[in-house]
Amino acid sequence: MRRVLILWVLLLLPLGLLAQGKMDMGKNQGSKQSMGMMKAMQNPVTVSVNSAGMSGMNAKMKKMMQEKEKKIQDLEARLDELEKKVKVLENKDTHLVLGNLKFWGYLRMRYVDSLDKTYSAISLEEITFNLAYHPADYITAWINVWWHPNQISLSNVLSGVPPYYPSEMIGYTYFERAQAELKLPTLGKYTQSFRIGKWYRSAFGIPPKYPNRKISDYSLVAEAFTHDRVTGIEYISSFSGMINFAVSVFNGLRIGDRPFGPNNPVNPPKVKIIADREMFGVGPGPLSEVTDNDKNKGVSVKLGYQWPAGVSYSKAYHSNGKYFQFDIFGTNGNRLTNGDLKTLTDSNKLNIPVDLFKNRNKYRAGADMRVILGRFSSDAEFFYGYTGGLEITGFHILGVYKVLPGRFDFLARYAELDTHEDFSNHRFDSEAYSALWNKRQIQLSLKTYLAKWAWIQTEYYFNFEGPKGDVKWNKVKNDVFFIEFVFFYM
């Protein structure tokens, strides 16, 4: 089409000039036309000369057409080169590539206000250092290291207790990902691969990595079920790019807690969430409570459908395309350990009465759905958790609207987490039992892009909690407001 347009323009100009010239000649010589024709008929030589002139004109036109054709070809070559350069600029990221190695990272800094008048700070949240090694088409390895400069042991410093480790004086360093992927041979329309190491589970929910969360912090429900990484082996497969299957075998997650509201070192959070926490390797003594050194492994399985076939969620999201995904998943295999029961019942931890537990069984199940319709997208997840007789359900739904793509995004997420306990006798009204309280959360966010690799995110979290049926919802002032700057480097 482009070639036709160029040829049309280049041909139209000389033809138009030629037509204009003929019109002018027609005006000046219209009265002599018939006489000229009669003279030409009476003189054969004149006819011959005119025929020779026409032949010369045809030769000139042919030569001109050849020159125009060559110019068109040169112009097309230049346009092709320009298109390649534009695509390179459009796809350019902040990664530094050296042979088979790729380096990148980002930093997050925020001003945060706990709104309870006890905590307000400018905080350097994290700096990441990420490396990917891709020596062949069938293998890739990743190492992601996170450094949290602000997470020194402030509670210990304020109380006069020395930090547990020297590194705590300069922040907290965390290996967020250490994983390798081996792609197996394709069997017709069936693709498959193994992942070995540590990262989010692909076989349980939507992995809440930073690009998937979209809102800066984890949701209430993700804090309970999917926040922590696992160490193990995963098998990931797809048939025709539409039917997806994954299974994970990993060190069984332990029971722990997470704060609901600002993680305030001056005024520790009063409301707690029962959470599945990361399990480490073999460890002696007190560390045995947070290690998986027996056969108590966890197994997760996920089956899902997506459309269009073979299109990644990330590609559809950034191109404002169309996408649909639905998955069901479950986890079983690891039972409650002695360390889990201690965490659940200890008055200094979750403080859940022993009589609420009936056995040591622990399993999780759920479903997720993702939809993209141009500039609008939505993610939703539902979870069910059984912990020794204690039942917990939760769901959240995220909506994103790109008000001005590449400039402003508006995001909102609603989440619920319920324990389904009997609160009618007011047994659990005290904040000491906040782990059993039902919880609600509304997260609002405005994302303002400074560039493709830098933005400012302004967020407010409305946090509500209380015994079920209690009219005094939001018993604790634990809303959060912050303004965050994110910058990707390399």
Kindly indicate whether the domain formed by 101-489 is annotated with CATH number 3.40.50.1820: no
User: Tokens for 252?
Assistant: 């069984």
* Burial label, 39 (beta-carbon count in 10 A; 0-12, 13-18, 19+): exposed
* The token pair that represents 74 in the structure block: 């040169």
CB atoms within 10 A of CB 285: 6
What is d(CA 42, CA 254) in angstroms, rounded to the nearest whole number? 113
pLDDT on residue 314? 93
- Token pair 């700096």 in the structure block, residue: 127
Contacts of 278 by beta carbon, 8 Å cutoff, 6+ apart: 228, 229, 230, 253, 254
Q: What is the pLDDT tens value at each position of the chain, 490 positions in all?
A: 444 444 443 443 443 444 444 444 444 444 444 444 444 444 444 445 455 556 667 777 777 888 878 888 888 788 777 666 555 444 555 578 888 999 999 999 999 887 766 678 888 889 999 999 999 989 999 999 998 887 654 444 444 444 444 444 456 788 889 999 999 999 999 999 999 999 999 999 999 998 899 999 999 999 999 999 999 999 999 999 999 999 999 988 889 999 898 766 666 678 899 999 987 655 444 445 555 555 678 999 999 999 999 999 999 999 999 999 999 999 987 788 888 899 999 988 899 999 999 999 999 999 999 999 999 999 999 999 999 999 999 999 999 999 999 999 999 999 999 998 887 777 888 889 999 999 999 999 999 999 989 999 999 999 998 886 554 566 678 888 999 999 998 6
Which of 336, 391, 384 has its CA nearest to residue 359? 336
DSSP 163-225: PSSGGGGG-EEEEEEEEEEEEPPPBTTEEEEEEEEEE--TTSS----HHHH-SSSPPHHHHHH
In this structure, which amino acid lies at residue 14? P
Would you call 124 exposed, middle or buried from its count of C-beta atoms within 10 A (0-12, 13-18, 19+)? middle
Give the CB-side neighbour count of residue 340, counting CA atoms within 13 A: 23
Q: At what angle do helices 33-42 and 44-91 cross, to 10 degrees?
A: 120
The predicted pLDDT at position 55 comes to 67
Cβ–Cβ < 8 Å for 336, 362: yes
Predicted local distance difference test score (pLDDT) of residue 294: 58
From residue 261, alpha-carbon distances to 218, 430, 436, 460 in Å are: 11, 18, 16, 11
Cis peptide leading into residue 467 (ω within 30°): no
Strands (E), 388-466: 390-404, 408-418, 438-451, 454-466
The pLDDT value given to residue 170? 57
What's the CA angle centered on 212, arms 210 and 214, to 5 degrees? 75
- The answer to whether the CB of 126 falls within 8 A of the CB of 150 is no
Q: What is residue 94's predicted lDDT score, i.e. its pLDDT?
A: 59
State the pLDDT at residue 27: 42
Distance in angstroms (rounded) separating the CA atoms of residues 363 and 121: 39
Residue type at 146 in one-letter notation:
W
Other C-beta atoms lying within 10 Å of the C-beta of residue 409: 21
* pLDDT for position 430: 86
Q: Is 439 helix (H, G, I), strand (E, B) or coil?
A: strand
